[in-house]
């Protein structure tokens, strides 16, 4: 065999390589993300579980050997992990050392105030296996992914009450999602005008805590299941706000909303339920409020053109497959129609950040 003649020049090869490095580069990367999404996610999830981004934030830049030593990983697994993270754009490699990219540092370093490390843990420990049932859920039109959690209740929220560790992971993640924009909700709405708010499905009180810190006159209560109210009360007590904030145990479809509130807040709550259930909840809120009262809806919004954003497209399968089997991220217009049908005569809208927005219906 002649070595010089073994490799041939090929215009076809040259042209294909040029195309893959230019016009096809982004579309091909996108397809890789789709086909290997589970691997990309597990790469990120492993880094978050190992708390690598916090380590790099405190001690970086670090070499591969330093990182392996700190994380107690053998050399080959450390190499595989760092290759994945650098290739995904989460780490930067320079002169043999690694640092987190600025966005990865902001989002996954636990020392950063609006990090979403807990959202990654929620995706890993609660959603990941359940979402493998998506195809089945589409065909059955119900939350077949709930089979991953013991119990016979129809929603994830009720089944989490059996497992305090998972319930904490869930509530911490909700808090991290809310934290992305609830500080701007507190800016955008004059909560000082309300005497007492009811935060339906208020979880660990993350939203009323933020609102009460910004508006010193505001009084508010979470309305949620007993196991969640216990977490909320503890958070409220730790924040020293028990004189203004509280938690009321209840089931939003079985119990009336408490009297004497002039604002009813639904934070990341109407995404859980079907259009008919949302209509019923907004009618119930209208009945509970005195004239002049208001209902507020705060969550990620789908564009009225029904073509995004990504958060709406990626979030909706979770509600069908796992949470309740009936919810999704609805459009601004749908919320507005339900508010008007419930009797709210004036409806206001304000877009916030991270695809969140707030709608206010005035009675
Ligand atoms: C998606 S989380 C939102 C938590 C919080 N509002 C936030 O924005 O971070 C939904 C909350 O609704 C509560 N929930 C679910 N079903 C409920 C029901 N039927 N009645 C009252 N609360 C409920 C859950 O326990 C959970 O805390």
Cα of 79 vs centre of ligand 1, distance in Å, is 41
Assigned domain for 137 exists:
no
188 with 288, same domain: the answer is yes
Tokens 């911490």, residue located: 172
Identify the pLDDT of residue 50.
98
**Nearest ligand 1 atom, CA 299:** 8
**Nearest ligand 1 atom, CA 266:** 6
CA–CA dist 331, 309 (Å, integer): 10
163 with 94, same domain: the answer is no
Residue 178 beta carbon below 6 angstroms from any ligand 1 atom: yes
233 with 170, same domain: the answer is yes
66 with 166, same domain: the answer is no
87 with 25, same domain: the answer is yes
CATH label of the domain that carries residue 71: 1.10.10.10
Residue 225 beta carbon below 6 angstroms from any ligand 1 atom: yes
Cα of 87 vs centre of ligand 1, distance in Å, is 37
Identify the pLDDT of residue 3.
83
198 with 344, same domain: the answer is yes
Identify the pLDDT of residue 327.
98
Closest residue by Cα to atom 16, ligand 1, is 157
Assigned domain for 118 exists:
no
CA dihedral (341, 342, 343, 349) positive or negative: negative
Residue 267 beta carbon below 6 angstroms from any ligand 1 atom: yes
What average pLDDT values come out for the chain (363 residues) when binned by 10 residues? 86 95 94 95 98 97 98 98 97 97 98 97 98 98 97 97 96 94 95 96 96 96 97 97 98 94 97 98 96 96 97 96 98 98 97 95 97
Instruction: Write down which residue in 74, 90, 108 finishes a domain.
Output: 108
Residue 324 beta carbon below 6 angstroms from any ligand 1 atom: no
Cα of 223 vs centre of ligand 1, distance in Å, is 8
Assigned domain for 193 exists:
yes
43 with 161, same domain: the answer is no
340 with 231, same domain: the answer is yes
Cα of 33 vs centre of ligand 1, distance in Å, is 31
Assigned domain for 311 exists:
yes
Assigned domain for 57 exists:
yes
The radius of gyration of the chain's CA atoms, rounded to the nearest angstrom, is 24
Residue 159 beta carbon below 6 angstroms from any ligand 1 atom: no
Residue 32 belongs to what domain range? 9-108
pLDDT in tens, 64-107: 999 999 999 999 999 999 999 999 999 999 999 999 999 999 99
CATH label of the domain that carries residue 181: 3.40.50.150
Identify the pLDDT of residue 92.
98
Instruction: Write down which residue in 73, 108, 143 finishes a domain.
Output: 108
219 with 341, same domain: the answer is yes
Residue 315 beta carbon below 6 angstroms from any ligand 1 atom: no
Assigned domain for 321 exists:
yes
160 with 90, same domain: the answer is no
CA–CA dist 207, 201 (Å, integer): 11
Q: Residues of 202-215 as b/e, b for ≥16 C-beta within 10 angstroms?
A: bbbbbbbbbbbebb
Assigned domain for 126 exists:
no
Counting the structural domains of the chain, the total is 2
Closest residue by Cα to atom 23, ligand 1, is 201
pLDDT in tens, 157-212: 999 999 999 999 999 999 999 999 999 999 999 999 999 999 999 999 999 999 99
Residue 174 beta carbon below 6 angstroms from any ligand 1 atom: yes
165 with 286, same domain: the answer is yes
Site to probe by mutation for ligand 1, drawn from 119, 157, 250 as the one with most ligand atoms within 8 Å of Cβ, is 157
Assigned domain for 84 exists:
yes
What does pTM read for this prediction? 0.93
103 with 184, same domain: the answer is no
Identify the pLDDT of residue 1.
80
CA–CA dist 17, 175 (Å, integer): 46
């Amino acid at each position: 065999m002649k070595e010089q003649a073994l490799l041939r020049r090929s215009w076809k090869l040259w042209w294909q390589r040029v195309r893959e490095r230019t016009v096809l580069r982004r579309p091909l990367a996108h397809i890789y993300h789709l086909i290997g999404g589970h691997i990309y996610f597990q790469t990120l999830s492993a880094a978050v579980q190992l708390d690598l981004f916090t380590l790099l934030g405190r001690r970086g830049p670090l070499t591969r050997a330093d990182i392996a030593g700190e994380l107690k990983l053998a050399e080959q697994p450390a190499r595989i992990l760092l290759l994945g993270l650098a290739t995904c754009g989460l780490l930067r490699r320079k002169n043999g050392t690694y640092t987190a990219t600025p966005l990865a540092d902001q989002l996954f370093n636990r020392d950063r105030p609006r990090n979403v490390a807990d959202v990654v843990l929620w995706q890993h420990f609660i959603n990941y296996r359940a979402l493998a049932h998506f195809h089945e859920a589409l065909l059955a039109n119900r939350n077949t992914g709930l089979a991953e959690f013991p119990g016979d209740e129809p929603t994830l929220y009720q089944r989490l009450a059996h497992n305090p560790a998972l319930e904490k992971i869930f509530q911490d993640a909700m808090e991290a999602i809310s934290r992305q924009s609830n500080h701007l909700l507190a800016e955008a709405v004059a909560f000082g005008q309300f005497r007492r708010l009811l935060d339906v499905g208020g979880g660990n009180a993350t939203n009323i805590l933020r609102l009460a810190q910004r508006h010193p006159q505001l009084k508010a209560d979470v309305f949620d299941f007993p196991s969640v109210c216990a977490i909320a009360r503890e958070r409220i007590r730790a924040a020293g706000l028990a004189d203004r904030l509280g938690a009321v145990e209840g089931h939003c479809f079985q119990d009336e909303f408490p009297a004497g509130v002039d604002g009813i807040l639904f934070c990341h709550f109407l995404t859980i339920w079907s259009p008919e259930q949302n209509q019923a909840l907004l009618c119930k809120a209208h009945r509970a409020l005195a004239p002049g009262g208001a209902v507020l809806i705060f969550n990620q919004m789908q564009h009225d053109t029904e073509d995004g954003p990504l958060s709406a497209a990626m979030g909706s399968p979770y509600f069908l497959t796992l949470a309740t089997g009936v919810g999704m991220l609805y459009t601004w217009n749908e919320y507005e129609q339900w508010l008007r049908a419930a009797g709210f005569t004036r409806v206001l809208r304000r877009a916030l950040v991270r695809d969140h927005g707030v709608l206010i219906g005035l009675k």
